Structure 1
Amino acid sequence: MEEIRIIIASDSVGETAELVTKACTSQYKTEGNALDIVRLPYIENESNINEVVSLALEQKSIVVYTLVKPEMRLYLKEKLEENNIENVDIMGPLMSILSDELKEAPLNEPGNIHKLDEDYFKKIEAIEFAVKYDDGRDPRGLPKADIVLIGVSRTSKTPLSQYLAHKRYKVMNVPLVPEVAPPEGLFEIDPKKCIALKINQKNLNAIRRARLIQLGLSDDANYAKDDRIEEELQYFEDVVSKIGCPVLDVSDKAIEETANDIIKIITQQNR
Protein backbone atom coordinates (compact mmCIF):
# COMPACT_ATOMS: atom_id res chain seq x y z
CA MET A 1 0.00 0.00 0.00
CA GLU A 2 1.27 3.46 -0.93
CA GLU A 3 2.16 5.59 2.09
CA ILE A 4 -0.26 8.41 2.88
CA ARG A 5 1.45 11.57 4.03
CA ILE A 6 -0.28 14.19 6.14
CA ILE A 7 1.18 17.58 7.05
CA ILE A 8 -0.10 19.28 10.19
CA ALA A 9 0.29 23.05 9.83
CA SER A 10 -0.42 25.29 12.80
CA ASP A 11 0.32 28.78 14.06
CA SER A 12 0.76 27.20 17.52
CA VAL A 13 2.24 23.80 18.43
CA GLY A 14 -0.22 21.83 16.29
CA GLU A 15 -1.52 19.47 18.96
CA THR A 16 -5.18 20.12 18.18
CA ALA A 17 -4.85 19.30 14.48
CA GLU A 18 -2.73 16.24 15.18
CA LEU A 19 -5.21 14.87 17.72
CA VAL A 20 -8.10 15.32 15.27
CA THR A 21 -6.05 13.72 12.48
CA LYS A 22 -5.11 10.73 14.62
CA ALA A 23 -8.71 10.35 15.77
CA CYS A 24 -9.74 10.13 12.11
CA THR A 25 -6.97 7.75 11.04
CA SER A 26 -7.73 5.47 13.99
CA GLN A 27 -11.02 4.60 12.30
CA TYR A 28 -9.23 2.71 9.54
CA LYS A 29 -7.58 -0.70 9.55
CA THR A 30 -4.63 0.64 7.59
CA GLU A 31 -1.34 -0.29 9.22
CA GLY A 32 0.31 2.52 11.12
CA ASN A 33 3.40 2.52 8.90
CA ALA A 34 1.17 3.35 5.90
CA LEU A 35 0.49 6.78 7.45
CA ASP A 36 3.16 9.43 7.80
CA ILE A 37 2.14 12.45 9.90
CA VAL A 38 4.49 15.44 10.04
CA ARG A 39 3.81 18.42 12.26
CA LEU A 40 4.91 21.91 11.16
CA PRO A 41 4.26 24.29 14.07
CA TYR A 42 4.43 28.07 14.43
CA ILE A 43 3.33 29.05 10.93
CA GLU A 44 3.51 32.81 11.31
CA ASN A 45 3.98 34.37 7.86
CA GLU A 46 3.58 33.82 4.13
CA SER A 47 7.11 32.48 3.82
CA ASN A 48 6.25 29.70 6.32
CA ILE A 49 3.11 28.92 4.35
CA ASN A 50 5.04 28.70 1.08
CA GLU A 51 7.31 26.14 2.73
CA VAL A 52 4.29 24.09 3.76
CA VAL A 53 2.92 24.16 0.21
CA SER A 54 6.31 23.24 -1.31
CA LEU A 55 6.71 20.29 1.05
CA ALA A 56 3.15 19.14 0.37
CA LEU A 57 3.79 19.20 -3.39
CA GLU A 58 7.09 17.42 -3.04
CA GLN A 59 5.72 14.65 -0.82
CA LYS A 60 2.19 14.59 -2.30
CA SER A 61 0.76 15.22 1.14
CA ILE A 62 -2.63 16.09 2.53
CA VAL A 63 -2.50 19.32 4.56
CA VAL A 64 -4.49 19.62 7.79
CA TYR A 65 -4.25 23.06 9.30
CA THR A 66 -5.28 25.17 12.29
CA LEU A 67 -4.56 28.84 11.65
CA VAL A 68 -6.53 31.38 13.68
CA LYS A 69 -5.40 34.52 11.88
CA PRO A 70 -7.84 34.97 8.97
CA GLU A 71 -5.29 36.48 6.57
CA MET A 72 -2.91 33.55 7.08
CA ARG A 73 -5.74 31.03 6.79
CA LEU A 74 -6.97 32.61 3.53
CA TYR A 75 -3.46 32.76 2.04
CA LEU A 76 -2.80 29.09 2.82
CA LYS A 77 -6.20 28.05 1.46
CA GLU A 78 -5.58 29.90 -1.82
CA LYS A 79 -2.11 28.39 -2.24
CA LEU A 80 -3.35 24.88 -1.54
CA GLU A 81 -6.22 25.19 -4.01
CA GLU A 82 -3.95 26.72 -6.67
CA ASN A 83 -1.76 23.62 -6.44
CA ASN A 84 -4.65 21.13 -6.14
CA ILE A 85 -3.45 19.94 -2.74
CA GLU A 86 -6.01 18.06 -0.64
CA ASN A 87 -6.56 19.98 2.57
CA VAL A 88 -8.73 20.32 5.67
CA ASP A 89 -9.26 23.56 7.63
CA ILE A 90 -10.15 22.36 11.14
CA MET A 91 -10.87 25.66 12.89
CA GLY A 92 -11.95 28.08 10.16
CA PRO A 93 -15.50 26.84 9.42
CA LEU A 94 -16.51 26.54 13.07
CA MET A 95 -15.00 29.94 13.94
CA SER A 96 -17.01 31.47 11.10
CA ILE A 97 -20.24 29.98 12.47
CA LEU A 98 -19.40 31.04 16.04
CA SER A 99 -18.67 34.61 14.91
CA ASP A 100 -22.08 34.79 13.22
CA GLU A 101 -23.94 33.29 16.17
CA LEU A 102 -22.12 35.23 18.89
CA LYS A 103 -22.02 38.48 16.89
CA GLU A 104 -18.43 38.78 18.02
CA ALA A 105 -15.08 38.78 16.25
CA PRO A 106 -12.60 36.12 17.40
CA LEU A 107 -9.44 37.07 19.28
CA ASN A 108 -7.28 35.50 16.56
CA GLU A 109 -4.57 34.71 19.11
CA PRO A 110 -2.66 31.47 18.45
CA GLY A 111 -2.06 29.19 21.45
CA ASN A 112 -5.02 30.30 23.58
CA ILE A 113 -5.99 26.70 24.24
CA HIS A 114 -2.70 26.19 26.07
CA LYS A 115 -3.58 29.05 28.39
CA LEU A 116 -6.72 27.09 29.21
CA ASP A 117 -4.62 23.98 29.75
CA GLU A 118 -2.39 25.89 32.16
CA ASP A 119 -5.45 26.99 34.10
CA TYR A 120 -6.71 23.41 34.18
CA PHE A 121 -3.43 22.11 35.56
CA LYS A 122 -3.42 24.81 38.24
CA LYS A 123 -6.83 23.56 39.35
CA ILE A 124 -5.63 19.95 39.45
CA GLU A 125 -2.58 21.01 41.46
CA ALA A 126 -4.81 22.85 43.95
CA ILE A 127 -7.13 19.84 44.30
CA GLU A 128 -4.19 17.52 44.94
CA PHE A 129 -2.85 19.99 47.49
CA ALA A 130 -6.18 20.06 49.36
CA VAL A 131 -6.24 16.26 49.52
CA LYS A 132 -2.61 15.98 50.62
CA TYR A 133 -2.93 18.54 53.40
CA ASP A 134 -6.47 17.76 54.50
CA ASP A 135 -7.18 17.58 58.24
CA GLY A 136 -3.75 18.99 59.19
CA ARG A 137 -1.95 15.82 58.05
CA ASP A 138 1.33 17.51 57.25
CA PRO A 139 2.28 20.87 58.81
CA ARG A 140 4.80 21.42 56.02
CA GLY A 141 1.86 22.51 53.88
CA LEU A 142 1.22 25.62 55.98
CA PRO A 143 3.75 27.96 54.31
CA LYS A 144 2.79 26.64 50.85
CA ALA A 145 -0.95 27.21 51.23
CA ASP A 146 -2.84 30.18 49.79
CA ILE A 147 -5.51 29.73 52.45
CA VAL A 148 -5.46 27.95 55.81
CA LEU A 149 -8.82 27.05 57.34
CA ILE A 150 -9.08 26.31 61.05
CA GLY A 151 -12.06 25.21 63.11
CA VAL A 152 -13.52 22.52 65.31
CA SER A 153 -14.86 19.29 63.82
CA ARG A 154 -17.90 19.59 61.51
CA THR A 155 -17.37 23.17 60.36
CA SER A 156 -17.10 22.08 56.68
CA LYS A 157 -13.33 22.53 56.47
CA THR A 158 -12.78 19.67 54.02
CA PRO A 159 -15.62 20.44 51.56
CA LEU A 160 -14.62 24.11 51.65
CA SER A 161 -11.02 23.16 50.87
CA GLN A 162 -12.15 21.16 47.85
CA TYR A 163 -14.55 23.86 46.66
CA LEU A 164 -11.84 26.53 46.89
CA ALA A 165 -9.37 24.20 45.16
CA HIS A 166 -11.68 24.25 42.13
CA LYS A 167 -11.21 28.02 42.22
CA ARG A 168 -7.41 27.39 41.99
CA TYR A 169 -6.65 28.13 45.66
CA LYS A 170 -4.24 25.85 47.51
CA VAL A 171 -6.04 25.24 50.78
CA MET A 172 -4.91 23.47 53.93
CA ASN A 173 -7.28 22.89 56.82
CA VAL A 174 -6.35 22.29 60.45
CA PRO A 175 -8.79 20.84 62.99
CA LEU A 176 -8.75 22.35 66.48
CA VAL A 177 -9.04 19.76 69.26
CA PRO A 178 -8.31 20.62 72.91
CA GLU A 179 -6.28 17.44 73.43
CA VAL A 180 -4.05 18.06 70.40
CA ALA A 181 -1.79 21.10 70.18
CA PRO A 182 -1.95 22.85 66.78
CA PRO A 183 1.25 22.76 64.71
CA GLU A 184 3.67 25.52 65.65
CA GLY A 185 3.73 26.64 62.04
CA LEU A 186 0.13 27.78 62.41
CA PHE A 187 1.32 30.65 64.62
CA GLU A 188 4.20 31.50 62.29
CA ILE A 189 2.38 31.95 58.97
CA ASP A 190 0.87 35.25 57.84
CA PRO A 191 -2.44 35.49 59.76
CA LYS A 192 -3.98 37.20 56.73
CA LYS A 193 -4.16 33.90 54.88
CA CYS A 194 -5.71 32.07 57.82
CA ILE A 195 -9.51 31.94 58.17
CA ALA A 196 -11.16 30.73 61.38
CA LEU A 197 -14.52 29.03 60.87
CA LYS A 198 -16.87 29.80 63.73
CA ILE A 199 -20.17 28.01 64.45
CA ASN A 200 -22.75 28.40 67.18
CA GLN A 201 -23.27 25.66 69.76
CA LYS A 202 -26.83 24.81 68.77
CA ASN A 203 -26.01 24.24 65.11
CA LEU A 204 -22.87 22.28 65.91
CA ASN A 205 -24.76 20.03 68.31
CA ALA A 206 -27.40 19.28 65.64
CA ILE A 207 -24.80 18.61 62.97
CA ARG A 208 -22.78 16.27 65.18
CA ARG A 209 -25.84 14.35 66.36
CA ALA A 210 -26.91 13.84 62.75
CA ARG A 211 -23.40 12.68 61.85
CA LEU A 212 -23.37 10.11 64.67
CA ILE A 213 -26.73 8.72 63.56
CA GLN A 214 -25.47 8.56 59.98
CA LEU A 215 -22.53 6.46 61.18
CA GLY A 216 -24.91 4.13 63.03
CA LEU A 217 -23.80 5.38 66.46
CA SER A 218 -25.71 6.71 69.44
CA ASP A 219 -26.36 10.44 69.22
CA ASP A 220 -25.66 10.92 72.93
CA ALA A 221 -21.92 10.25 72.54
CA ASN A 222 -19.51 12.71 74.13
CA TYR A 223 -18.77 14.13 70.66
CA ALA A 224 -22.23 15.76 70.57
CA LYS A 225 -22.66 16.68 74.24
CA ASP A 226 -23.06 20.34 75.13
CA ASP A 227 -20.25 20.47 77.67
CA ARG A 228 -17.81 18.92 75.18
CA ILE A 229 -18.86 21.35 72.47
CA GLU A 230 -18.50 24.28 74.86
CA GLU A 231 -14.97 23.14 75.69
CA GLU A 232 -14.04 22.89 72.00
CA LEU A 233 -15.53 26.27 71.12
CA GLN A 234 -13.67 27.94 73.97
CA TYR A 235 -10.45 26.30 72.82
CA PHE A 236 -11.20 27.58 69.31
CA GLU A 237 -11.55 31.14 70.65
CA ASP A 238 -8.24 30.85 72.51
CA VAL A 239 -6.34 29.68 69.43
CA VAL A 240 -7.92 32.28 67.16
CA SER A 241 -7.06 35.02 69.65
CA LYS A 242 -3.45 33.89 69.63
CA ILE A 243 -3.24 33.82 65.82
CA GLY A 244 -5.15 37.05 65.22
CA CYS A 245 -6.77 35.89 62.01
CA PRO A 246 -10.16 36.77 60.45
CA VAL A 247 -13.17 34.86 61.78
CA LEU A 248 -16.10 33.77 59.63
CA ASP A 249 -19.38 32.53 61.11
CA VAL A 250 -20.53 29.49 59.14
CA SER A 251 -23.51 28.61 61.35
CA ASP A 252 -26.27 29.06 58.77
CA LYS A 253 -24.31 29.26 55.53
CA ALA A 254 -24.05 26.98 52.51
CA ILE A 255 -20.61 25.88 51.31
CA GLU A 256 -20.79 28.15 48.25
CA GLU A 257 -21.71 31.19 50.32
CA THR A 258 -18.94 30.57 52.83
CA ALA A 259 -16.41 29.99 50.05
CA ASN A 260 -17.33 33.28 48.39
CA ASP A 261 -16.94 35.08 51.72
CA ILE A 262 -13.51 33.49 52.19
CA ILE A 263 -12.41 34.59 48.71
CA LYS A 264 -13.57 38.15 49.44
CA ILE A 265 -11.63 38.23 52.70
CA ILE A 266 -8.46 36.83 51.12
CA THR A 267 -8.72 39.19 48.14
CA GLN A 268 -9.13 42.23 50.40
CA GLN A 269 -6.28 41.08 52.64
CA ASN A 270 -3.95 40.75 49.64
CA ARG A 271 -4.62 44.23 48.34
Structure 2
Amino acid sequence: MNHLVIYVISDSLGETAEQVARASISQFTTTDYEIKRYSYVLDEENLGDILNLAKEENSVILYTLVNLKFVEQLVNFCSRENIPNVDLLSDLINSIALRTNLVPKREPGIIRKLDEKYFRRVEAIEFAVKYDDGKDPRGFEKADIVLIGISRTSKTPLSMYLANKNIKVANIPLVPEAEPPRELYDISPRKIVGLTNSPQKLNQIRTERLKALGLASNANYASYQRILEEISYAETIMRRIGCPIINVANKAIEETAGIILDIMKANGIKIYKD
Protein backbone atom coordinates (compact mmCIF):
# COMPACT_ATOMS: atom_id res chain seq x y z
CA MET A 1 0.00 0.00 0.00
CA ASN A 2 1.02 3.64 -0.32
CA HIS A 3 2.65 5.29 2.69
CA LEU A 4 -0.20 6.44 4.97
CA VAL A 5 -0.07 9.77 6.79
CA ILE A 6 -2.56 10.36 9.57
CA TYR A 7 -3.03 14.06 10.18
CA VAL A 8 -4.15 14.90 13.73
CA ILE A 9 -5.53 18.43 13.93
CA SER A 10 -6.58 20.00 17.22
CA ASP A 11 -7.33 23.40 18.72
CA SER A 12 -5.74 22.08 21.93
CA LEU A 13 -2.90 19.59 22.36
CA GLY A 14 -4.46 16.79 20.32
CA GLU A 15 -3.10 14.06 22.59
CA THR A 16 -6.40 12.18 22.71
CA ALA A 17 -6.78 12.21 18.92
CA GLU A 18 -3.24 10.93 18.50
CA GLN A 19 -3.92 8.07 20.91
CA VAL A 20 -7.04 7.16 18.94
CA ALA A 21 -4.97 7.20 15.75
CA ARG A 22 -2.37 4.87 17.26
CA ALA A 23 -5.02 2.53 18.65
CA SER A 24 -6.69 2.35 15.24
CA ILE A 25 -3.54 1.77 13.21
CA SER A 26 -2.50 -0.99 15.62
CA GLN A 27 -5.37 -3.06 14.23
CA PHE A 28 -3.50 -3.36 10.93
CA THR A 29 -0.32 -5.29 10.17
CA THR A 30 1.59 -2.38 8.77
CA THR A 31 4.41 -0.09 9.79
CA ASP A 32 4.23 2.03 6.65
CA TYR A 33 2.59 5.02 8.24
CA GLU A 34 3.29 8.16 10.22
CA ILE A 35 1.25 10.46 12.40
CA LYS A 36 1.59 14.21 12.05
CA ARG A 37 0.06 16.11 14.93
CA TYR A 38 -0.83 19.80 14.67
CA SER A 39 -1.71 21.36 18.02
CA TYR A 40 -3.34 24.71 18.82
CA VAL A 41 -4.76 25.32 15.37
CA LEU A 42 -6.63 28.51 16.12
CA ASP A 43 -6.93 30.40 12.84
CA GLU A 44 -8.32 29.64 9.39
CA GLU A 45 -5.07 30.37 7.55
CA ASN A 46 -3.11 27.89 9.65
CA LEU A 47 -5.81 25.27 9.16
CA GLY A 48 -5.79 25.90 5.42
CA ASP A 49 -2.02 25.43 5.21
CA ILE A 50 -2.26 22.08 7.01
CA LEU A 51 -5.09 20.89 4.76
CA ASN A 52 -3.08 21.78 1.66
CA LEU A 53 -0.23 19.64 2.97
CA ALA A 54 -2.61 16.76 3.60
CA LYS A 55 -3.99 16.75 0.06
CA GLU A 56 -0.51 16.12 -1.31
CA GLU A 57 -0.22 12.85 0.61
CA ASN A 58 -2.07 9.60 1.08
CA SER A 59 -3.75 10.98 4.17
CA VAL A 60 -6.51 10.52 6.67
CA ILE A 61 -7.46 13.45 8.86
CA LEU A 62 -8.45 13.00 12.48
CA TYR A 63 -9.54 16.15 14.26
CA THR A 64 -10.76 17.60 17.54
CA LEU A 65 -11.99 21.09 16.74
CA VAL A 66 -14.76 22.83 18.69
CA ASN A 67 -15.02 25.93 16.49
CA LEU A 68 -17.85 25.14 14.05
CA LYS A 69 -16.41 27.48 11.44
CA PHE A 70 -13.17 25.49 11.42
CA VAL A 71 -15.07 22.21 11.29
CA GLU A 72 -17.03 23.43 8.27
CA GLN A 73 -13.83 24.59 6.55
CA LEU A 74 -12.20 21.21 7.09
CA VAL A 75 -15.21 19.15 6.04
CA ASN A 76 -15.73 21.18 2.85
CA PHE A 77 -12.06 20.92 1.93
CA CYS A 78 -11.95 17.16 2.53
CA SER A 79 -15.12 16.72 0.49
CA ARG A 80 -13.61 18.55 -2.49
CA GLU A 81 -10.28 16.73 -2.25
CA ASN A 82 -11.77 13.34 -1.37
CA ILE A 83 -9.78 13.04 1.88
CA PRO A 84 -11.19 10.67 4.54
CA ASN A 85 -11.74 12.54 7.79
CA VAL A 86 -13.02 11.71 11.26
CA ASP A 87 -14.51 14.20 13.72
CA LEU A 88 -13.91 12.90 17.25
CA LEU A 89 -15.90 15.59 19.07
CA SER A 90 -18.91 16.94 17.20
CA ASP A 91 -21.18 13.87 17.33
CA LEU A 92 -20.64 13.39 21.04
CA ILE A 93 -21.01 17.11 21.81
CA ASN A 94 -24.26 17.21 19.83
CA SER A 95 -25.56 14.08 21.58
CA ILE A 96 -24.81 15.55 25.03
CA ALA A 97 -26.49 18.82 24.03
CA LEU A 98 -29.55 16.88 22.86
CA ARG A 99 -29.86 14.91 26.09
CA THR A 100 -29.14 17.80 28.48
CA ASN A 101 -30.71 20.75 26.60
CA LEU A 102 -27.48 22.62 27.31
CA VAL A 103 -25.56 24.73 24.83
CA PRO A 104 -21.88 23.74 24.41
CA LYS A 105 -19.31 26.47 25.03
CA ARG A 106 -17.33 25.62 21.89
CA GLU A 107 -14.24 26.98 23.62
CA PRO A 108 -10.86 25.42 22.73
CA GLY A 109 -8.64 23.94 25.45
CA ILE A 110 -11.19 23.83 28.29
CA ILE A 111 -9.98 20.43 29.53
CA ARG A 112 -6.41 21.73 29.62
CA LYS A 113 -7.57 24.64 31.74
CA LEU A 114 -9.29 22.22 34.11
CA ASP A 115 -6.07 20.22 34.39
CA GLU A 116 -4.09 23.38 35.13
CA LYS A 117 -6.61 24.34 37.82
CA TYR A 118 -6.29 20.91 39.42
CA PHE A 119 -2.50 21.02 39.52
CA ARG A 120 -2.54 24.59 40.84
CA ARG A 121 -4.79 23.42 43.69
CA VAL A 122 -2.51 20.47 44.48
CA GLU A 123 0.48 22.82 44.49
CA ALA A 124 -1.31 25.17 46.91
CA ILE A 125 -2.19 22.31 49.26
CA GLU A 126 1.40 21.03 49.23
CA PHE A 127 2.57 24.59 49.92
CA ALA A 128 0.23 24.92 52.93
CA VAL A 129 1.56 21.66 54.39
CA LYS A 130 5.19 22.62 53.79
CA TYR A 131 4.89 26.06 55.34
CA ASP A 132 2.47 25.23 58.14
CA ASP A 133 3.17 26.35 61.70
CA GLY A 134 6.25 28.39 60.79
CA LYS A 135 8.24 25.36 59.63
CA ASP A 136 10.17 27.39 57.07
CA PRO A 137 9.99 31.22 57.11
CA ARG A 138 11.42 31.30 53.59
CA GLY A 139 7.91 30.46 52.43
CA PHE A 140 6.60 33.87 53.46
CA GLU A 141 7.97 35.51 50.32
CA LYS A 142 6.43 32.85 48.06
CA ALA A 143 3.04 32.86 49.81
CA ASP A 144 -0.04 34.68 48.54
CA ILE A 145 -1.07 35.24 52.14
CA VAL A 146 0.58 34.74 55.55
CA LEU A 147 -1.56 34.02 58.61
CA ILE A 148 -0.22 34.85 62.06
CA GLY A 149 -1.77 34.26 65.45
CA ILE A 150 -1.50 32.44 68.73
CA SER A 151 -2.29 28.77 69.20
CA ARG A 152 -5.87 27.64 68.42
CA THR A 153 -6.88 30.54 66.18
CA SER A 154 -7.60 28.25 63.18
CA LYS A 155 -4.41 29.03 61.26
CA THR A 156 -3.95 25.53 59.85
CA PRO A 157 -7.62 24.84 58.96
CA LEU A 158 -7.81 28.24 57.25
CA SER A 159 -4.57 27.55 55.37
CA MET A 160 -5.98 24.29 54.01
CA TYR A 161 -9.37 25.81 53.19
CA LEU A 162 -7.74 28.63 51.23
CA ALA A 163 -5.35 26.18 49.56
CA ASN A 164 -8.40 24.44 48.12
CA LYS A 165 -9.17 27.77 46.48
CA ASN A 166 -5.73 27.71 44.84
CA ILE A 167 -4.22 30.20 47.31
CA LYS A 168 -0.74 29.59 48.70
CA VAL A 169 -0.82 30.16 52.44
CA ALA A 170 1.94 30.10 55.03
CA ASN A 171 1.20 30.46 58.72
CA ILE A 172 3.17 30.99 61.88
CA PRO A 173 2.26 30.86 65.58
CA LEU A 174 3.05 33.82 67.79
CA VAL A 175 4.32 33.03 71.27
CA PRO A 176 5.71 35.52 73.82
CA GLU A 177 8.85 33.45 74.36
CA ALA A 178 9.94 33.64 70.71
CA GLU A 179 10.45 36.68 68.51
CA PRO A 180 8.84 36.24 65.08
CA PRO A 181 11.33 35.42 62.31
CA ARG A 182 12.93 38.34 60.51
CA GLU A 183 11.34 37.21 57.24
CA LEU A 184 7.92 38.24 58.57
CA TYR A 185 8.99 41.89 58.59
CA ASP A 186 10.57 41.65 55.13
CA ILE A 187 7.29 41.06 53.29
CA SER A 188 4.47 43.49 52.61
CA PRO A 189 1.96 43.79 55.48
CA ARG A 190 -0.71 43.79 52.73
CA LYS A 191 -0.40 40.01 52.47
CA ILE A 192 -0.34 39.34 56.23
CA VAL A 193 -3.51 38.66 58.23
CA GLY A 194 -3.55 38.41 62.01
CA LEU A 195 -5.90 36.00 63.76
CA THR A 196 -7.06 36.33 67.33
CA ASN A 197 -9.79 34.86 69.52
CA SER A 198 -11.70 35.67 72.67
CA PRO A 199 -10.12 34.59 76.00
CA GLN A 200 -13.26 32.61 76.85
CA LYS A 201 -13.26 30.71 73.57
CA LEU A 202 -9.54 30.01 73.79
CA ASN A 203 -9.89 28.73 77.33
CA GLN A 204 -12.65 26.37 76.22
CA ILE A 205 -10.76 25.12 73.14
CA ARG A 206 -7.46 24.68 74.94
CA THR A 207 -9.05 22.90 77.88
CA GLU A 208 -10.67 20.41 75.51
CA ARG A 209 -7.37 20.05 73.68
CA LEU A 210 -5.57 19.16 76.91
CA LYS A 211 -8.21 16.60 77.79
CA ALA A 212 -7.88 15.00 74.36
CA LEU A 213 -4.14 14.69 74.96
CA GLY A 214 -4.71 13.18 78.41
CA LEU A 215 -3.17 16.18 80.19
CA ALA A 216 -4.40 18.15 83.18
CA SER A 217 -6.97 20.74 82.19
CA ASN A 218 -5.52 23.28 84.65
CA ALA A 219 -2.19 23.46 82.81
CA ASN A 220 -0.75 26.91 82.13
CA TYR A 221 -1.54 26.53 78.41
CA ALA A 222 -5.28 26.93 79.13
CA SER A 223 -5.10 29.45 81.99
CA TYR A 224 -6.71 32.86 81.51
CA GLN A 225 -3.55 34.66 82.59
CA ARG A 226 -1.49 32.85 79.96
CA ILE A 227 -4.12 33.36 77.29
CA LEU A 228 -4.38 37.10 78.00
CA GLU A 229 -0.61 37.38 77.89
CA GLU A 230 -0.48 35.64 74.49
CA ILE A 231 -3.32 37.74 73.04
CA SER A 232 -1.66 40.97 74.20
CA TYR A 233 1.70 39.91 72.78
CA ALA A 234 0.23 38.79 69.43
CA GLU A 235 -1.81 41.94 68.94
CA THR A 236 1.26 44.05 69.71
CA ILE A 237 3.14 42.25 66.92
CA MET A 238 0.17 42.65 64.54
CA ARG A 239 -0.10 46.38 65.21
CA ARG A 240 3.65 46.73 64.70
CA ILE A 241 3.35 45.03 61.33
CA GLY A 242 0.22 47.01 60.44
CA CYS A 243 -1.81 44.03 59.23
CA PRO A 244 -5.58 43.53 59.57
CA ILE A 245 -6.75 41.49 62.57
CA ILE A 246 -9.67 39.09 62.50
CA ASN A 247 -11.29 37.77 65.66
CA VAL A 248 -12.26 34.20 64.76
CA ALA A 249 -14.42 33.69 67.87
CA ASN A 250 -17.82 32.29 66.85
CA LYS A 251 -16.86 32.39 63.15
CA ALA A 252 -16.97 29.35 60.90
CA ILE A 253 -13.85 28.63 58.83
CA GLU A 254 -15.79 29.58 55.69
CA GLU A 255 -16.78 32.94 57.17
CA THR A 256 -13.23 33.82 58.21
CA ALA A 257 -11.92 32.68 54.83
CA GLY A 258 -14.44 34.94 53.13
CA ILE A 259 -13.15 37.92 55.12
CA ILE A 260 -9.57 37.01 54.15
CA LEU A 261 -10.55 36.80 50.47
CA ASP A 262 -12.16 40.25 50.72
CA ILE A 263 -8.96 41.60 52.26
CA MET A 264 -6.89 40.03 49.47
CA LYS A 265 -9.13 41.58 46.81
CA ALA A 266 -8.96 44.98 48.48
CA ASN A 267 -5.16 44.73 48.58
CA GLY A 268 -4.92 43.76 44.92
CA ILE A 269 -3.66 40.23 45.59
CA LYS A 270 -4.48 37.83 42.75
CA ILE A 271 -7.12 35.26 43.55
CA TYR A 272 -7.54 32.29 41.22
CA LYS A 273 -11.10 31.34 40.44
CA ASP A 274 -12.38 27.92 41.47
Cα distance, 1:250 vs structure 2: 0.6
Task: Return the letter of the residue paired with 2:10.
Answer: S
Aligned to 1:48: 49
Distance (Å, rounded) in 1 between the aligned partners of 2:29 and 2:179? 65
After superposing the two structures, state which structure 1 stretch, 153-162 or 140-149, moved more: 140-149
Structure 2: give runs of 5+ residues left out of the alignment: 270-274
Percent pairwise identity: 46
Distance (Å, rounded) in 2 between the aligned partners of 1:54 and 1:69? 22
SS in 2 for 1:139: coil
After superposing the two structures, state which structure 1 stretch, 76-85 or 165-174, moved more: 76-85
Aligned to 1:145: 143
| TM-score using structure 2 length | 0.80
Task: Return the letter of the residue paired with 1:48.
Answer: D
Cα deviation code 1:73-104 (max 9, x no counterpart): 13323444666655432221233245554553
Cα distance, 1:201 vs structure 2: 1.4
Cα deviation code 1:45-90 (max 9, x no counterpart): 35235236426xx3454x3210111122133234446666554322
| TM-score using structure 1 length | 0.81
Distance (Å, rounded) in 1 between the aligned partners of 2:3 and 2:200? 75
Distance (Å, rounded) in 2 between the aligned partners of 1:191 and 1:235? 18
Task: Return the letter of the residue paired with 1:9.
Answer: I
Identify which of 143, 152, 155 aligns with 1:154. Answer: 152
Identify which of 94, 110, 126 aligns with 1:128. Answer: 126
Verify the 8 A CA contact 2:7 2:54 in the aligned structure 1: no
Cα distance, 1:148 vs structure 2: 1.0
Distance (Å, rounded) in 1 between the aligned partners of 2:221 and 2:21? 60
Distance (Å, rounded) in 1 between the aligned partners of 2:179 and 2:75? 69
Verify the 8 A CA contact 1:136 1:172 in the aligned structure 2: yes
Structure 1 residues 187 and 253: alpha-carbon distance in aligned structure 2, compared to 1, 3 A threshold: same
Verify the 8 A CA contact 2:190 2:243 in the aligned structure 1: yes
Distance (Å, rounded) in 2 between the aligned partners of 1:71 and 1:184? 58
Distance (Å, rounded) in 2 between the aligned partners of 1:193 and 1:151? 14
Identify which of 164, 167, 175 aligns with 1:177. Answer: 175
SS in 1 for 2:36: strand
